Structure 1
Amino acid sequence: MRKVPVSCFIISKNEADRIARTIRSVRPWVDEVVVVDSESTDDTVSVALAEGCRVITQPWLGFGGQKRFAEDQCRNNWVFNVDADEVVTPQLEQEILAVFAAGNPEFIAYGMPLQMVYPGSAKPRPLARDHWYVRLYDRRFVRFRNSRVHDAVVTDNYPIGRLRAPMHHYSMRSFADMKRKLNERTWLLVENSAPGATGSIRLRLLSELPMNFFKYYIVRRHVMGGPKGLRYASIQARYRFLKIYRIWRTGRHKTATAASVSAPA
């Protein structure tokens, strides 16, 4: 198979049970696969090496920092970020091959949809509408934001190409695993939250749960996922509420109010 001049990079931590599937979805058609592992205690490294990847161990730098480090390890300027719980579909593979078929791509970055796959399911729900991310890009022009919490490519004012075919996202090993990950993520967001006004935080305590349930169940169409979709939307809404509740309980929202009171006129 003809390979495109693209380095695929994957960050990992204890992903031995699923990283091989991710690697196999890209290894045949990209120039190289680089795995940056943050000190896994399972067989992630040996699995990645067995799949023909170049593996680098790097202690955790935060979501954005780890991906920026991985960008620097790639030998090609064009890079493709895939997480260890994602799988590139054959349709997306063909779209990416077409981007490079004529030589230089038209855009300096391309975004694509990510579709959630529930635990125990083989494919996304019908009419899935989850996330859209820039993951294929020329690192000479755009890169991941250096953020401890967020991992998004900063595209500035560059026009972005849009790919239609999705990656499949096997984010949850189980719904219990989903709750564990959301709990950890929520505390991380609380610790890194910007201060907000007391009035707005109280309003969000009332609105966060129903608004997020509507967002996930109706807007993102988890209503099409049956009982699993209902469960997924309910868990997401609960943890979105818990983030606001924990910000309120820890008193982080008071910082902005105190600062505004003490500021000189």
Structure 2
Amino acid sequence: MKISACLITHNERDNLDRCLSSLRPVVDEIIVVDSGSTDGSQDICRSYGAHVTEHKWEGYVAQKNLAISLASNKWVLSIDADEELSPGLSSAIEMLRENPPEEDISGYEISRVVYYRGEWIWHGNWFPDRLVRVFQKDRARFAGGSVHERLEIDGTVKRLPGYLHHYTFVSMEERRGRIQNYANLWAANAIAHGRRAWPWSAPLRATWRFLRGYVIRRGYLDGSLGWEIAVSNAEEVYMKYQSLRRLQQRA
């Protein structure tokens, strides 16, 4: 069974060697859609034998669907530039290539684990982040809003062992710098789809987000980082619903 790896890039020089070096031994083709990088990302991708297509930015959904459409193989591995395959996941993909699945299986779900400030985060709202990343290209398509895309897939989905390593924010300050922008984009998409926020929505939803991550999903087991992440997740939810509330009041 042959697999095409598909990813989108924009100024990902600091991440690409790690990502592409994990892909090259286990895939037959690497497809990259780049939205005009100026840091040498395209050259790095080509050095790994990737097929690079430059395409102006049209959003995560459009860019990822374009990358999938350019794949020459039936099966696709979708990966982000700040991710890498763990050794266990690489072995699972190798076994899949050697022992192709039944035709009724459309895709495979993978558990993603975040590396943050020198530690792997094994609890809370960030784990396990299960995503369908290996799939038959003619049975799946990305959809969603301007912030978070999702994969829509027809057919049976199973799970692969191993982890997808995610090297996310270097610091919470970096994360906070993006949260407000994400919140504004989310609110604009939410109000366009008829969602509403009440005066109590932001504090109640933020409190629940904290309790779910820190207590119910045992974020406390990740120590001080678990607390930091739970608070940050609550802040993000609060900002999202506050932004939605402001848009409602202006309408």
Gaps of 5+ in 1: 256-265
User: Which residue of the partner structure matches residue 194 of structure 2?
Assistant: 195
2:31 is equivalent to residue 38 of structure 1: no
Secondary structure in structure 2 of the residue aligned to 1:7: strand
1:227 and 2:246 are equivalent in the alignment: no
Query: Which residue in the other structure is 1:76 paired with?
Result: 73
2:106 touches 2:153 (CA, 8 Å); kept in 1? Answer: no
Cα distance in structure 1, aligned partners of 2:78 and 2:175: 22
1:61–1:148 contact (8 Å) kept in structure 2 = no
Q: Residues 204 and 218 from structure 1, CA distance in 2 versus in 1: closer, same or farther, beyond 3 angstroms? A: same
Rounded to whole Å, the distance in 2 between the matches of 1:89 and 1:219 is: 27
Q: Relative to structure 1, is the Cα distance of residues 181 and 220 closer, same or farther in structure 2, using a 3 angstrom cutoff?
A: farther
Query: Match for 2:3: what amino acid?
Result: V
Tell me which of 138, 141, 162 is aligned to 2:139: 141
| Aligned residues of 2:106 and 2:135 also touching (Cα < 8 A) | yes
In 1, Cα distance between the equivalents of 2:200 and 2:115? 33
Change (3 A) 1:15 1:220: farther
Task: Tell me how far apart the structure 2 counterparts of residues 219 and 50 of structure 1 sit (CA, whole Å).
Answer: 45
TM-score normalised to structure 2 length: 0.89
Alpha-carbon distance between aligned partners in 1 of 2:102 and 2:168, rounded to the nearest angstrom: 30
Structure 1 range deviating more: 216-225 or 129-138: 216-225
**1-structure distance, mates of 2:67, 2:132:** 16
Matches within 5 A, 1:82-93: 82-93=79-90
Partner of 2:51: 54
| Residue of structure 2 in register with 1:160 after alignment | 157
Is the alpha carbon distance of 1:145 and 1:18 closer, same or farther for their aligned partners in structure 2, counting shifts above 3 Å?
same
Q: Give the Cα separation in 1 of the matches to 2:128 and 2:210.
A: 14
- Are residues 1:29 and 2:59 paired? no
Amino acid at match of 2:172: F
Paired letter, 2:182: R
Structure 1 counterpart of 2:95, from 92, 95, 98: 98
Shift of 1:24: 0.8
Q: CA deviation at 1:50?
A: 2.0
* Structure-1 separation of matches of 2:199 and 2:161: 40
C-alpha separation in 1, matches of 2:113 and 2:82: 12
Structure 2: distance between partners of 1:126 and 1:251 = 35
Q: Mind listing any 5+ residue stretches in structure 2 that lack a counterpart? A: none
Of 158, 177, 180, the residue aligned with 1:180 is: 177
CA positional deviation for 1:136: 0.3
Whether the 8 Å contact between 1:15 and 1:84 is mirrored in structure 2 is: yes
**Which stretch shifts more, 95-104 or 182-191?**
95-104
Which 10-residue stretch deviates more, 210-219 or 129-138? 210-219
Amino acid at match of 1:102: N
Give the CA deviation at 1:149.
3.4
Letter in 2 for 1:10: L
**1:168-224 superposed Cα distances (whole Å, 9 cap, x missing partner):** 111112222211232222221112113334xx5223123022111112223443322
Report the AA paired with residue 109 of structure 1.
G
Q: Displacement, 1:105?
A: 4.5
Partner secondary structure for residue 2 of structure 2? strand
Residue 80 of structure 1: CA displacement? 0.4
Structure of higher CA gyration radius: 1
Q: Whole-Å Cα distance in 2 between the matches of residues 221 and 46 of structure 1?
A: 43
Q: Which residue of 2 aligns with 1:262?
A: none
TM-score, normalised with respect to structure 1:
0.85
* Identical aligned residues as a percent: 26
Q: Secondary structure at the match of 1:42?
A: coil
Native 8 Å contact 2:123 2:217 kept in 1:
no
Call closer, same or farther: CA 1:118–1:105 in 2, change over 3 Å.
farther
- Equivalent residues of 1:68, 1:146 under 8 A apart: no
